[in-house]
Amino acid sequence: MTKSKNFLNNLVKTFGFAPSKGGQNEEDLEKIAQQEQKHFPFETLAAATKNFHPSHKLGEGGFGPVFKGKLEDGREIAVKKLSQSSNQGKKEFMNEAKLLARVQHRNVVNLLGYCAHGVEKLLVYEYVLNESLDKLLFKSNRREELDWKRRFDIICGVAKGLLYLHEHSHKCIIHRDIKASNILLDDKWVPKIADFGMARLFPEDQTHVNTRVAGTNGYMAPEYVMHGHLSVKADVFSFGVLVLELISGQRNSSFNANADAQNLLDWAYKLYKKERSMEIMDPTLASSAVTEQVAMCIQMGLLCIQGDPTVRPTMHRVIVILSKKPSHLEEPMRPGVPGSRYRRSRRPAGGGVSSTTAGTSGESNSRYSDTSFTVTGTTSAAAPVQDVRGKRPVES
Ligand SMILES: Nc1ncnc2c1ncn2[C@@H]1O[C@H](COP(=O)(O)OP(=O)(O)OP(=O)(O)O)[C@@H](O)[C@H]1O
Ligand SMILES: [Mg+2]
């Protein structure tokens, strides 16, 4: 008997429904059962996206294309068609997706459900109206829509979403790919973190080394790039980069605003040391900026990107900093050198931990130490090459 039939029978038993003539009740209950299990039939998603028509394509990242769709009930959705290179079995995928669909927070994109159909694996998200932050922040003609209040609210919202993923979801989820294109903005400009838990859906395996993608150029913590050490502090680092990008309107990975600085982080730190940190501020913020708040956020961002992960604040501390009136903050140390995007190399048998989530055991405070682990047994020093979309340097 299928799971949904089981669920249906339980409902019938519990509530005493008797399937009536025409099987109408049974059909309704079947629908409820499907909703409960968050499983979408492939046909529903094909119909919602006009057969994954190119005109419905919202974009394409490292895991496959994303299509906009509309369900029969009127709900707008974004369907991520995972590239077939993931070697994860269907059952594992469904288990992971089911777990991730339990993640619910105002600042995290709602994963409505999933679909596994033959070789196809799909994730179904709520459609977020203003799409991703990078499309606004790094386009000169739209940047002005993001005044200081909006940017500050985005910083606070992303911090809350990350705190939830790290400490308050059913499992500690390390995102591993916090960046402007993974922050979506809804109709009220509420930021929502997208693509959490992707590494659970693309687990390391012994035979398909080339399926791995991990982190993005300019956002990755040095200890992760160089040694594969992944902890919640790697997300804190990426969050710090995002904060400095929001304040400056500059993309760290293509920074060229200052000849004396290697990158945005270096520039911000050098100016901070000369007590001129406000010079990194995006000129379009001049009329809306609250100077003290901007200065506090720059300092907080610099604390997050420190080279030593142990001295970076936790997301809990970040929230405390953001919720207080600008007050005395510790002095940031040198920023970590950001690395380039890389793929994990083959994990030796039995070695390393491939998941972005850690176990649920332990008190929330102990999670910080629990979640620091080695991603991979070896990381390659091979020079990165661009992938076909020219977007991600990957190992050959
Ligand atoms: N739920 C959603 N609602 C609205 N737009 C979305 C949604 N999910 C994704 N998008 C859009 O689709 C684009 C592609 O997303 P995708 O996650 O595939 O790429 P990416 O974020 O650039 O790279 P990565 O694979 O590293 O996450 C995003 O930039 C975003 O604009
Ligand atoms: Mg994304």
Nearest residue CA, atom 5 of ligand 1? 131
Separation of alpha carbons 316 and 365, rounded Å: 10
Question: pLDDT-based confidence at 350, cuts 50/70/90?
Answer: very low
| Cα of 349 from ligand 1 centre, angstroms | 33
Question: pLDDT-based confidence at 313, cuts 50/70/90?
Answer: very high
Please report the pLDDT score of residue 27 as a whole number.
Answer: 62
Please report the pLDDT score of residue 159 as a whole number.
Answer: 98
| Cα of 180 from ligand 1 centre, angstroms | 10
Please report the pLDDT score of residue 370 as a whole number.
Answer: 34
Among 126, 154, 173, the domain boundary falls at 126
**Is 114 found in the same domain as 209?**
no
pLDDT digits (tens, 9 = 90+) for 227-283: 888 899 999 999 999 999 999 999 998 888 787 888 999 999 999 999 999 999 999
**Is 339 found in the same domain as 219?**
yes
Ligand nearest to the CA of 134: 1
- Please determine, for residue 289, whether its predicted confidence score (pLDDT) is greater than 80: yes
Catalytic residues: 177
**Is 14 found in the same domain as 140?**
no
Among 91, 126, 161, the domain boundary falls at 126
Q: Which atom of ligand 1 is nearest to the CA of 126?
A: 1
Please report the pLDDT score of residue 7 as a whole number.
Answer: 47
Interval 90-112 mean pLDDT: 90
| Cα of 136 from ligand 1 centre, angstroms | 13
Interval 71-82 mean pLDDT: 95
* Backbone phi, psi, residue 367, to 5°: -65, -35
Tell which one of 52, 57, 66 to mutate to probe ligand 1, the residue whose CB is within 8 A of the most ligand atoms.
66
Q: Which atom of ligand 1 is nearest to the CA of 64?
A: 18
**Is 219 found in the same domain as 299?**
yes
Burial of 22 (0-12, 13-18, 19+ CB in 10 A): exposed
Interval 296-317 mean pLDDT: 97
Averaged pLDDT of the chain: 78
**Is 145 found in the same domain as 236?**
yes
pLDDT digits (tens, 9 = 90+) for 107-134: 999 999 999 998 889 999 999 999 899 9
Please report the pLDDT score of residue 261 as a whole number.
Answer: 84
| Cα of 364 from ligand 2 centre, angstroms | 27
**Is 373 found in the same domain as 245?**
yes
pTM, full prediction: 0.79
Please report the pLDDT score of residue 347 as a whole number.
Answer: 36
DSSP string, 150-210: HHHHHHHHHHHHHHIIIIISSSEE--S--SGGGEEE-TT--EEE-STTHHHHS---SS-GG
**Is 79 found in the same domain as 109?**
yes
Q: What residues make up the domain containing 19?
A: 2-126
Q: Which atom of ligand 1 is nearest to the CA of 216?
A: 26
**Is 358 found in the same domain as 299?**
yes
Kindly report the CATH number assigned to the domain that includes residue 379: 1.10.510.10
**Is 349 found in the same domain as 295?**
yes
**Is 282 found in the same domain as 149?**
yes
Domain count, the chain: 2
**Is 79 found in the same domain as 163?**
no
Nearest residue CA, atom 22 of ligand 1? 61
Q: What letter represents residue 86's amino acid?
A: S
Please report the pLDDT score of residue 179 as a whole number.
Answer: 95
Kindly report the CATH number assigned to the domain that includes residue 92: 3.30.200.20
Separation of alpha carbons 152 and 242, rounded Å: 12
**Is 153 found in the same domain as 58?**
no
Separation of alpha carbons 229 and 307, rounded Å: 13
* Backbone phi, psi, residue 166, to 5°: -75, -40
Q: What letter represents residue 146's amino acid?
A: L
- Please determine, for residue 194, whether its predicted confidence score (pLDDT) is greater than 80: yes
Among 104, 126, 148, the domain boundary falls at 126
